[in-house]
Amino acid sequence: MKTPSYYGFWHHLGNRLLKLFSWLVLLFLILPILVIVPLSFNAEPFFSFTEGMLRLQPDAWSLRWYEQVFSDPRWLLAIKNSFIIGFFATLLATVLGTCAAVGLARAEMPLRRFITALLLSPMIVPLIITAAGMFFFYSSLNLAGSHLGVIIAHAALGTPFVIITVTATLTGFDYSLARAALNLGASPLRVFLDVILPLIRPGVISGALFAFITSFDEVVVVLFMAGPQQRTIPRQMFSGLREQINPSILAVATLLILLSIVLLLTLELLRRRAERMRGIEIPQ
Amino acid sequence: MDDQAGDRPFLQFRNVKKTYDHKTLVVKDFNLDVAKGEFITLLGPSGSGKTTCLMMLAGFEDVTSGEILIDGRQVTSIAPYRRNIGMVFQQYALFPHMTIRENLGYPLKIRKQSREQIDQQVEQYLALIELQHFGGRYPAQLSGGQRQRVALARALIFNPDIVLMDEPLGALDKKLREQMQFEIKRLHDQLGFTVIYVTHDQTEALTMSDRIAVFDQGVVQQCAPPHVLYERPANLFVADFIGESNKLRGAIEAVEADSVRVRLEDGGLVSALKANCCDLGQPTTVSIRPEKLTFTERLGDAGNRVRARFVTSHYVGEYIRYHFETANGSELVVKNMNDSSAPPLAPGDEIALAWLPQDSQALDGQEAPKPV
C-alpha cells in the first residue's frame, strides 16, 4: 500500500508497527492449525518434531499414521458414522431450514421476529445446555444411543445456518417473478420448484454446507447422545487423545483441514455464482 | 347464467369494491363492461385504484365485494393460476434463470403440451416479436425493449382470454416507449386479444385505446373513446387530467336543448355545450382547450369572445403558447400554430380571445380538483 506523501517519521513507524501486529495476529490464529500438518507425517509416535524431521531426512517422515487410521476399524467406523450422520442431518436441516426461511420471508407471516428468534436459538444457547436437554428428552423417546437420535439432534443444530443463508438470498427476491409464474398457470408448488428454488439455490447450498460442517465437527451432543456404535470422527479423536496417544489423531486432523478447505472453496465459488445471478436479477 | 351469450359483455366488473384496512375504499363501486377484443385503458393518477382493479382481475388481490365475470363466469373464487389471464408486469418479471425460449415455453410446459408443440409455438412467437436469434439468451443479455417484447410474447403465447398490462412501458425511455406502443397495437390488431391496460401516461392511453376509463379516488370519472374523452370531458377532473384546459367561471343564465348560456364572472355572456351541469342560476365552469382559443381573426364574428390582457409567450417550435389574464384574474392559455400572420403582442396589450361554442363545455362546480 502506498503511504500518503504527508506522512512523517512517526507516521511511518506507526504504519510499520500496525503491519507487524496484523501479521502476528494472523499467525496466532493459523499457527496451531498449520503445525499439525507436518507433525502428522512424523515417523515416530511423538507429538513433536524429531531432529530428523528438522533436518529433512526422508526416513524421519512417513505416512504410517495415515495407514493406521485407514486400517483401524474404530477410525473407519467413526469416518463412516460422521458421513452418514452428517449427510442425513444436512438433508433434514436443509429441507426444514429452507421451508422456514421461505415462510418467514412472507410479509403476512404473523410473529415473524419471535419465530425467527426461536428457530435461531440453537446457535445462541450454550451447546452443553442444548445437549443436556436433548439427552433427557431423546432418552425418554428411546432415541439416545441411536443414529436417528444423533441425526435429529444435529439437524436441529444445523437448521439455523440454513435459515440464515436462505433468508439472505431471499431479501431482495423479486416476488413479481412468483406472481408471473402463478399468472402463467403454475400452481404454488410449481412456482416454488420452478422459480423460487432455482433462484435461492446458492443460499440453500451454502446453508447445507454450514449444516454439514456443524454436524461433522460437533462433539458435545455426540458425547451425550451417542453410544459406541455412533462414534463420529471428533468423538473418536476425543477418546484417542486419552487412550491411544499417537499421531494418528494428527493424520485425521490434517484430513479434516483438507475437507474444510474444500468446503470453503465451494462456498466461495457459490458466492461468485450468486453474484453473477444477482447481476441477472437487476433489470437493465 | 343467461342464454344470450352473444349480447353479453365478455368481461364485466359489477359493483366491485376494495378495501385494505376495512375503513377506506381504494376502489368504490367499479363497473365496467368490456367487449371481446377491445383495448381498454385504466388511466388515472397514482393511488387512484386502477392497479388494484387489475390485481383483482388477475387474482392477486381479493375482491371486498361485487363480482368480476369473464364470459358470464364468476372469477373471484378461481385461483390465479387457473384464470387463464396473461399479464405483462412493469419490471417484465422474466425468469432470470431461464433462457428466452424457456421463458416463452414455460406456460405451455405447465399446460402439459408436447415438446414439438411447445418448440413450434415458441419459434412462432419469437418470430412475431422479431427476436428469432435471441431464443438461447438469458434475459440479462437483452436490452430493456427486447425484454419487454419477450414479456409481451410470454403473456400471449398460451392464448389467454384477457391480457393485462400494468404500466408495461414505464421503465423504457421515450423513444422506445413509442416504438413499443406501436408494437403492442400491431400485435393487438394481428391477434385480436382483449387488453386491460393500466397507465398514468395519458398520451399512451389516448394513442392506443379503444376506450379509456379515467380513475380518480377509486371511482371511474368517465369511460369513453379517446376523442370523446378529450373533446367532451364529463367533469372537471377529466377536463383537467386529460390534456390542458382553460377554465372560466360563471353562472348558468339560460338552458337550451344541448347547450347553455353562461354569464361569466367578468360580465361577458358565452354559450357552451351542456356537460354535467346544469340548473338555471347554478355556478359552472366553462372549459376550453388551449388550441381552440384564438386571438387571430380566423373565426370572424362567429363564436364566443372574452377580453384578456397578454402576459407572456413561450416559443415551443411547432406552436407558441400565449398566456393571457382576464379582468378578474383567470389565467388563459392559447396554443397557436407557429403562424407568421399572428399579430405581434406586447405585455399588457388587451385583446379579444374567441372560440366556437361547440368547442367549450359547461361543467358542474367551480373548483377543479388538482391532478396529483
Residues of A in contact with B78 (CB under 8 A): none
Domain A76-278 CATH (choose: 1.10.3720.10, 3.30.230.70, 3.90.110.10, 3.40.50.10140): 1.10.3720.10
- pLDDT-based confidence at B2, cuts 50/70/90? very low
pLDDT tops 60 at residue B205? yes
Q: How many Cβ atoms are within 10 Å of A172's Cβ, its own excluded? A: 9
- pLDDT-based confidence at B354, cuts 50/70/90? confident
Q: What pLDDT is stored for residue B300 in this prediction?
A: 66
Per the model's pLDDT, the better-predicted residue between B78 and B275 turns out to be: B78
Instruction: Provide the shortest C-alpha distance from residue A264 to chain B (in Å).
Output: 25
Of A177, A183, A188, the CB nearest to B58: A183
Give the C-alpha separation, A254 to A37, whole Å.
6
Nearest of B282, B268, B299, B243 to residue B362 by alpha carbon: B282
pLDDT tops 80 at residue B343? no
Give the C-alpha separation, B238 to B244, whole Å.
10
What tens digit of pLDDT does each residue of A94-122 get?
999 999 999 999 888 888 889 999 999 88
CB B86 within 8 A of CB B160: yes
- pLDDT-based confidence at B370, cuts 50/70/90? very low
Q: Which of A144-148, A190-194, B264-268 has the lowest mean pLDDT?
A: B264-268
Of B59, B92, B110, the CB nearest to A283: B92
As a CATH number, domain B247-364 is 2.40.50.140
Residues of B in contact with A198 (CB under 8 A): 97
Give the C-alpha separation, A226 to A221, whole Å.
8
pLDDT tops 60 at residue B3? no
Domain ranges of chain B: 11-231, 247-364
Find which of A175, A184, A192, A199 to mutate to test the B interface (most B CBs within 10 Å of its CB).
A184
Of B87, B93, B147, the CB nearest to A177: B93
CB B292 within 8 A of CB B359: yes
Please give the helix or strand (H or E) that residue B212 lies within, else none. Answer: strand B211-216
What tens digit of pLDDT does each residue of A59-77 get?
888 888 898 889 989 889 9
Q: What pLDDT is stored for residue A173 in this prediction?
A: 87
Residues of A in contact with B155 (CB under 8 A): 183
- The b-or-e profile of A20-45 (16+ CB within 10 A means b, else e) is eeeeeeeeeeeeeeeebeebbbbbee
HSE-CB of B12 using CA atoms within 13 angstroms? 13
Q: How many Cβ atoms are within 10 Å of B309's Cβ, its own excluded? A: 16
Mean pLDDT of A25-48: 87
Kindly report the average pLDDT of chain B as a whole number: 86
Q: What is the pTM of this model?
A: 0.77
Q: What pLDDT is stored for residue A76 in this prediction?
A: 92
Inter-chain touch A187–B96, beta carbons under 8 Å: no
Residues of B in contact with A181 (CB under 8 A): 95, 106
Domain ranges of chain A: 76-278
What tens digit of pLDDT does each residue of A218-237 get?
999 999 888 888 889 999 88
Which ipTM score applies to this complex?
0.79
Fold for B11-231, please state it: Rossmann fold (3.40.50)
Q: What pLDDT is stored for residue B298 in this prediction?
A: 67
Q: Which residues pair with B40 in a beta bridge?
A: B196, B211
Give the C-alpha separation, B179 to B173, whole Å.
10
Secondary structure of residue B246 in the 3-state scheme:
strand
Q: Which residues pair with B197 in a beta bridge?
A: B41, B165
